[in-house]
Amino acid sequence: MNFLTRYKNTIVPGLLLSILVAALAKFSAIFLPQLGGATLAILFGIFLGNTVFKQSLLQKGTKFAESRLLEVSVVLLGMTVTFQTIAEMGIRGLLYILFIMTGTIFFTYKIGQRIGFNQTTSLLMAGGNAVCGSSAIASIAPGIHAKEEEKGQIITLVNLLGTVMMLTLPFIGRGLFGDDTLAISALLGGTLQSVGQVVAGASLLSEEIVQYAMLFKIMRIMCLALVVYFFTKIAAPSTTEQTTATQKKKFPLPWYLVGFLILCCLNSLLPIPSWVSENVKLISNWLETTALAAIGLRLDLMRFLQEGPRFILYGTSVGLFQTIAALILIFILF
């Protein structure tokens, strides 16, 4: 009995399920190569997580797979990128990210209050869409004293919005920009909410687009500390004093971003054997697929539908703005 109790409280059930769904997706991708293992993993996850696998004992493991495995995958991605790859983005890439992030934050905050959401909810939505989805929301929430209910609602909304955009933007990008890798990568890396969604969306097209899209995404993640600081300052005055000390204690960048940069430096400065790069890429791909399966398993569609039409209107408005703004900026800058 004690063994069963301990088993239920571990990551094992959810992690094993995520791996099995990833394996199913990989196998199915042999027959559906136009979709690919990454996209199938999140689609299978959404279906199974909302029908068969709703048990609470799975939550700890799927959460671990969603966050930790994807973070390790991002670190390993650094082994496939060099300074030369980053330099190809140039000043245009930096300006693009600054403009799209600023526009997304301003629009999302203003439209949220116009629809009737409070300041806290609007800030969570703005940060989640502008930076890096659930990770940004989790980082911003303590600084503005967001309630757990508000945090959960926005995480659900951002994840569902990102899933819809993940399945549509790659085809919009291919249709508008053809074989322009940098333009398509800018569209995906500059708009999709989470790291997993960027990887999954870009995987629909090519490995090269995955690399470049992730570089755009990483530029957004590097702004997380600044966004948290700024949001804490504009939140209600009564919430700022208590959070200043807490924010100072935290390292300003996520650990996986630091790991990515270290491996990128090593790959740029040292001769890495091809067999090492190939195996790192294989491991990274499996971790990505498993994490995406977990993301799908954790996406509660019923919870989202219960939030009502206001949330649907909010998500649709933000998604349309991000897409249109990104396309305009890409046509101007690229």
**pLDDT tens, position by position, 30-44:** 888 777 787 788 789
In a domain, 17, yes or no: no
300 or 327, higher pLDDT: 327
In a domain, 256, yes or no: yes
Tokens linked to 52 = 């068969």
Distances (CA, A) of 138 to 34, 146, 148, 167: 34, 10, 10, 25
Per-residue pLDDT of 61-100, as tens digits, reads: 998 988 788 778 878 877 877 777 777 778 999 999 999 9
Which of 107-111, 151-155, 219-223 has the lowest average pLDDT? Answer: 151-155
Q: Is the dihedral of CA 326, 331, 332, 334 positive or negative?
A: positive
In a domain, 164, yes or no: yes
Instruction: Check pLDDT > 90 for residue 274.
Output: no
In a domain, 6, yes or no: no
Please say whether the beta carbons of 42 and 200 come within 8 A.
yes
Distances (CA, A) of 281 to 28, 69, 195: 20, 14, 17
- Mean of the pLDDT values across residues 179-207? 88
In a domain, 22, yes or no: no
- Mean of the pLDDT values across residues 323-332? 96
Which of 66-70, 176-180, 225-229, 245-249 has the lowest average pLDDT? Answer: 245-249
Res 252: pLDDT: 55
Percent of the chain predicted with pLDDT > 70: 90
- Residue 54 pLDDT grade (very low, low, confident, very high; cuts 50, 70, 90): confident
274 or 208, higher pLDDT: 208
In a domain, 56, yes or no: no
Average pLDDT, the chain: 83
Instruction: Check pLDDT > 70 for residue 243.
Output: no
Domain of 79 in residue numbering reads as 34-51+66-333
Res 190: pLDDT: 95
Res 80: pLDDT: 74
Tokens linked to 214 = 């992730």
57 or 256, higher pLDDT: 57
- Residue 273 pLDDT grade (very low, low, confident, very high; cuts 50, 70, 90): confident
In a domain, 7, yes or no: no
Percent of the chain predicted with pLDDT > 90: 33
Provide the number of structural domains found in the chain: 1
In a domain, 137, yes or no: yes
36 or 289, higher pLDDT: 289
Which amino acid type is present at position 285?
N
Res 125: pLDDT: 95
Per-residue pLDDT of 104-137, as tens digits, reads: 999 999 999 999 899 999 999 999 999 888 778 8
Rounded to whole angstroms, the Cα distance separating 206 from 213 reads 11
- Mean of the pLDDT values across residues 178-202? 90
Instruction: Check pLDDT > 90 for residue 181.
Output: yes
Rounded to whole angstroms, the Cα distance separating 189 from 167 reads 14
Instruction: Check pLDDT > 80 for residue 167.
Output: yes
